[in-house]
Chains A and B, each alone.
Chain A
Amino acid sequence: GQQLNQSPQSMFIQEGEDVSMNCTSSSIFNTWLWYKQDPGEGPVLLIALYKAGELTSNGRLTAQFGITRKDSFLNISASIPSDVGIYFCAGPGAQKLVFGQGTRLTINP
């Protein structure tokens, strides 16, 4: 079945640093979704991408829909402590969304 590979699996950074993570698919997607999950909470939708090459921002977050339609990228600029959590990518599979395994972000103050 379809799989999403997220990289890196975890990140340990200093407050104020920029963050980059990506997601690759074994097949073409026509939608890419990025979620964030705070500890003990449910995932919250951050950004939705619907077109190859699309670049969309949400505050300090920017996500891009890869030209090949098999990948997507999420960048966070000037990280702050509340950015801590797990970031998931997702895309449409057969009758369901397929989720990546997540990137766990830890920030040292």
Chain B
Amino acid sequence: DVKVTQSSRYLVKRTGEKVFLECVQDMDHENMFWYRQDPGLGLRLIYFSYDVKMKEKGDIPEGYSVSREKKERFSLILESASTNQTSMYLCASSFGGFGQPQHFGDGTRLSIL
């Protein structure tokens, strides 16, 4: 089975802090994704990556950056956390083209105070 592991289930940070969310997958997938999920807004794509050191903006990249130095690891960075970034963050990975199923981690519930 595919295993996507997110480093924290719950995280509390303060406004202005730099926040790192880590994601590791164990299936040698080329593609990795970061989403945020908010009530009534569904899953929104922040950034994705189709290869090491490659990144593409999703639908809501503002206030975020990413890093993919190794194939198995995809990091989401909140450069200066703000309260409107309080959310559930989900990492996913997939193999192959755009239509292939993505496999999700358990999520990180991030609160910015």
Give chain A's interface residues, CB within 8 Å of chain B: 29-31, 33, 35, 40-45, 48, 88, 90-97, 99-102
Q: Is the CB of A102 within 8 A of B42?
A: yes
Closest residue of A by beta carbon distance from B41: A101
Minimal beta-carbon separation of B24 from chain A (angstroms):
14
Number of A-B contacts (CB under 8 A): 50
Q: Is the CB of A41 within 8 A of B107?
A: yes
Tell me whether chain A's interface is mostly helix, strand or loop, or mixed.
Answer: loop
Q: Which of A40, A41, A92 contacts B99 (CB 8 A)?
A: A92
Closest residue of B by beta carbon distance from A96: B45
Q: Is the CB of A42 within 8 A of B98?
A: no
Q: Is the CB of B101 within 8 A of A92?
A: no
Chain B residues near A99: list those with CB within 8 A: 42-43
State how many residues of chain B have any CB contact under 8 Å with chain A: 22
Q: Is the CB of A100 within 8 A of B42?
A: yes
Known contacts A96-B48, A96-B58; A45 and B103 CB within 8 A of each other = yes
Judge if B102 is at the interface, Cβ distance under 8 Å: yes
Q: Which of B33, B99, B103 contacts A31 (CB 8 A)?
A: B99
- Known interface pairs A42-B105, A45-B103, A88-B42; 6 further A-B residue pairs with C-beta atoms within 8 A, sorted by A's residue number: A29-B99, A42-B90, A42-B107, A92-B97, A96-B48, A96-B58
A31 vs B94: C-alpha distance in the bound complex, in angstroms? 14
Chain A residues near B101: list those with CB within 8 A: 33, 45, 48
Chain B residues near A33: list those with CB within 8 A: 101
Known contacts A42-B90, A43-B90; A91 and B103 CB within 8 A of each other = no
Q: Is the CB of A97 within 8 A of B102?
A: yes
**Across the A-B interface, the 9 shortest Cβ-Cβ residue pairs:** A92-B99, A42-B104, A31-B99, A92-B98, A99-B43, A101-B42, A42-B107, A42-B106, A43-B104
Chain A residues near B28: list those with CB within 8 A: none
Minimal beta-carbon separation of B87 from chain A (angstroms):
14
Minimal beta-carbon separation of B25 from chain A (angstroms):
12
Closest residue of B by beta carbon distance from A50: B99
